[in-house]
Amino acid sequence: AASKTPRHPVLKKRDDFEDVLEERRRSSDLRYALRCYTPTLYKGLVPCKASMLKTIVLQSDHLQYVIKQVSSESGDSTECVAEEASLILDEMAHRLQLSTIRFFAFTLSKAFKRLFRSVCVNEEGIQRLQQAVQEHPVVLLPSHRSYMDFLMMSYLLYMYDLPLPVIAAGMDFMSMKFVGEMLRMSGAFFIRRSFGGDKLYWAVFSEYVKTMLRNGYAPVEFFLEGTRSRTCKSLTPKTGLLNIVMEPFFKGALFDVNLVPVSISYERILEESLYARELLGVPKPKESTSGLLKARRVLSEDYGSMHVYFGHPVSLRSLAEGKINRSQYNLLPRYIPQKPRVDTHEFLNDAAFRLVRIQEENMVLKPWVLIATLLLQNPDGLELSFLTEQTDWLRHLALAFGAFLDWPDHEACSEVISCSLALHRHLLSVSAGHVQLNVTDAPQVETTPEEAVFHRAVVVLSCASYRNQILHVFLRPALLAVAMQSANSNRKDDVYNCFNFLRNMFSNEFILCPGDSIQDFEEACYLLMKHGVLQVLEHEIVMSASGHSTLAFLCSVLDPFLQGYQVVCRYLCEETNENLTEKDFIPAVRSFALKLILAGRLKCCEALSSDLQKNALAALLRLKAVRKVKVGDQVTLKVNKIAVNSLEDTLGKSNVNQNSWCSSMAMLK
């Protein structure tokens, strides 16, 4: 059960960093790639050859059981089904070869030195990982913001003489001739994005992963979020692969599993403008070797620094203690598939959220995320002197709330800001000491009003991807700040009810651990009280005389999300016909939001984001204000307009009240 004592994020001790590129800039990349590589393996095992691994999987009791089951259900012979299983495994399996790893070590050293000023790694985290891989099988769980993530992970493990991971990768990469096979030979195993009801595919996949884990042949690596986050916010975790790696422990085949969350952060994201365009409906470029070659021009750009933080290994045994009754798994032989029970499913979900929260808390934040946050809240721009003053104020607020901020120790604030503005100059215009987002300089050719809005939205969403990186720091205090305005009351119960409503509404948008509502509320109260913003009495919450500007800022943090969700609600109430399909929903909402922007009724370009629209729909479905109905081959959305209208009104109250706060904040400037 969740503790009701608020966490104290400020007190968290974090490791120091080392720049791994420093040595690479001084010595030969070829000598480095060809050096002696002798990783310490789990229980001193000899690495297993790919052919042997395939034999073990195909002959396993679990897969043999499923082959017979599928044969019985389909009428095909067991030999025929077994052959299909073998073909699935051939398509899926990695073929890790040290020669390929050495090739990548050489080429990535060259590339990383061109792309990044520094790649900083916490050495204490590496030492903990070196110990963990010898004790129990290891699962690496990196955050996922860029294609660079899994390349960097393998590069670092090779650098520190750690066993190379086997990495779950999407089938998209298979279409990249040569590169797809190179990735396979560097440890990638390829899985379909969706299995549907394919029982045989699921059995081959799960047995393959569990065999690698049970025998400790290599750390298994996958992304809890399932895909790259186009918004740079953490995504709601997927639990399918997590269930697979936990099952050998549940069934007693493993004493323990070490889960290692890894936080990877970028000062400037390589896919920044691609992500913004994807969120505005431009199709994602297909992975291809020719596309990779065309992307070589990124090597001439400066992407600043990169930080990789290896978190403390989380013992699955400790995590499950008192929460999972493992004896239930002894009722059937281990090889017989079992669907996760309700308590197991709840445990998986809770564990996944907590692991993503650890990733968030260990994410290193650069000064630019603070600047981006302020510029988004001030679309008309700020004088450089005032921006410097506000950034310094925000830096102290973020640190008070426990942010992991990488701020140069001995540099003047003005110098730090000047360097950040230079790195992100493509998003900015700086003129006569005035700084604003580059939202007015549309391309030189004549554009339509729609194209001008698109150009502006690309810049805003690109900038928002940096602001989003610090949202987890401000989220709980921001929910409390908006709740205080929405409640229009000082009574603690009233404020908590509004906080809980907002938390529930936004639980698809942010990482909010299920069942932690009271803990989150108390944490928000603690942080704001400690910072002198609030007084929290037994039955009342009262704003202090000096708390006005802090609460106004926190309200503004959530403003784009409140406005975006209101736009979705308004669309569903005003525009929906009876045959709105799920497939047509996002293009239709985007078109509706665009009309509002062109008519001057909406200024928030973030309302055009498909990610926000999708999360808003998920919230409305969860709250039963909208339901899905299957009609033929299509899924239709049925809208309860009374319920949606009521939700829009409640969100509107939060927004109206906070707008009055923010206008008074503007007067202070």
What is the bridge-based pairing of β-strands 541-543 and 534-536? antiparallel
What is the DSSP-derived secondary structure letter of residue 540?
A: B
pLDDT by residue (tens digit) across 494-518?
Answer: 999 999 999 999 999 999 999 999 9
pLDDT by residue (tens digit) across 235-247?
Answer: 999 999 999 999 9
614 token code pair: 């999708």
Q: Which domains does the chain have, with CATH numbers?
A: 49-265+291-362 (3.40.1130), 442-668 (no CATH)
Helices (H), 75-197: 78-92, 98-115, 123-135, 148-159, 179-184
Return the biggest CA–CA distance within the chain. Answer: 79
Q: What is the 3-state secondary structure (H, E, C) of 498-510?
A: HHHHHHHHCCCCC
Above 90 in pLDDT, residue 479? Answer: yes
Whole-number pLDDT of residue 664:
40
Q: What stretch of H or E contains 169?
A: strand 166-170
Contact between 155 and 165 under an 8 Å Cβ cutoff? The reply is no
Q: Give Cα separations from 645 to 558, 593, 624 (angstroms).
A: 20, 17, 13
- Whether the predicted model's global pTM rises above the 0.75 cut: yes
Instruction: Please state, for a pLDDT cut of 70, what percent of the chain lies above it.
Output: 91
pLDDT by residue (tens digit) across 621-642?
Answer: 999 999 999 888 889 999 999 9
Above 50 in pLDDT, residue 210? Answer: yes
Band of pLDDT at residue 442, cut at 50, 70 and 90: low
Q: Which of 98-112, 165-179, 250-264, 349-363 has the lowest mean pLDDT?
A: 165-179
pLDDT by residue (tens digit) across 179-193?
Answer: 788 888 888 888 887
Q: Give Cα separations from 460 to 47, 99, 215, 521 (angstroms).
A: 48, 44, 48, 30
Contact between 249 and 316 under an 8 Å Cβ cutoff? The reply is yes
What is the bridge-based pairing of β-strands 541-543 and 220-221? unpaired
536 token code pair: 């929290």
Buried b (16+ CB within 10 A) or exposed e, 303-333: bbbbbbbbbbbbbbbebbeeebeeeebeeee
Residues in contact with 653: Cβ distance below 8 Å, sequence separation at least 6, in sequence order: 486, 488
Whole-number pLDDT of residue 665:
39
Question: CA-to-CA distance for 284 and 151, rounded, in angstroms?
Answer: 20
Whole-number pLDDT of residue 204:
94
Q: Give Cα separations from 443 to 422, 440, 448, 608 (angstroms).
A: 21, 9, 11, 20
Q: What stretch of H or E contains 648?
A: helix 641-668
Question: CA-to-CA distance for 75 and 55, rounded, in angstroms?
Answer: 25
pLDDT by residue (tens digit) across 26-72?
Answer: 999 999 999 999 888 777 676 677 778 889 999 999 999 999 999 99
Q: Give Cα separations from 252 to 248, 256, 259, 328, 553 (angstroms).
A: 6, 9, 17, 11, 51
Residues in contact with 478: Cβ distance below 8 Å, sequence separation at least 6, in sequence order: 554, 555, 557, 558
Burial status of residue 56 (CB atoms within 10 A of its CB: 0-12, 13-18, 19 or more): middle
Whole-number pLDDT of residue 660:
42
pLDDT by residue (tens digit) across 301-333?
Answer: 999 999 999 999 999 999 999 898 887 777 777
pLDDT by residue (tens digit) across 360-401?
Answer: 999 999 999 999 999 999 999 999 999 999 999 999 999 999
Helices (H), 362-491: 367-377, 384-400, 413-423, 449-467, 471-487
Residues forming beta bridges with residue 221, ordered by sequence position? 140, 167
Helices (H), 575-609: 582-598
Q: State whether residue 103 is helix, strand or coil.
A: helix
Other Cβ atoms closer than 10 A to 6: 17
